[in-house]
Amino acid sequence: LQRHKATLSARRSAVYRGKPPFSIFGVGDYAFLPWKVAISGLYKSLRFRVFGPRDGKPVMFDDTVYFLPFRSRDEALETLALLESAEARSFLNAMIFWDEKRPITAGILRRLDLEALAALLGKQAGGGATGPACLRVGRDSGPTAAPESRRQAIRPSGPGRR
């Protein structure tokens, strides 16, 4: 962290002002799963990516990123395939206002039901019993629930969000 102190200290968001150095928000058990499918809320295009462990440790994100956590690479890749489908892209593009500062929002992502999308495409959402039933964001999404609950969340990791 010390090596990146200047970069982290230069974050412009007001949520970091007056906070301890290296602060991050929205960290729960789900954040420590090794594989994630993530997207930045600031992107001006739909670009989901898979992130795996780095140096044996899970990747962590700041409050501009939404993500789904997974125990396995295969689950993450299966979910990425759903999110990259023409159907998912069409659905999300219909709701996104690309001129906004943060065009990709929790509210928009919450509307995409991955289980229904998987059924439409003849696939299983997120690898079956260990994958997400739907792409959800919000207080009721239970990010600390075990993946076997078939409820995982693409989570904003900023302050005031659970």
- What local confidence, expressed as pLDDT, does residue 62 receive? 81
DSSP 63-97: TTEEEEEESSHHHHHHHHHHHTSHHHHHHHHTT--
SS3 state of residue 157: coil
Q: pLDDT, tens digit, for every residue of 15-56?
A: 778 888 877 777 889 999 999 999 999 889 999 999 999 999
Q: What is the pTM of this model?
A: 0.70
At 128 the three-state DSSP class reads helix
pLDDT on residue 135? 41
Binned at pLDDT 50, 70 and 90, residue 127 comes out as very low
One-letter amino acid of 101 = K
The DSSP bridge partners found for residue 42 are none
Closest to 144 (Cα-Cα) out of 135, 134, 155, 159: 155
The letter for the amino acid at 103 is: P
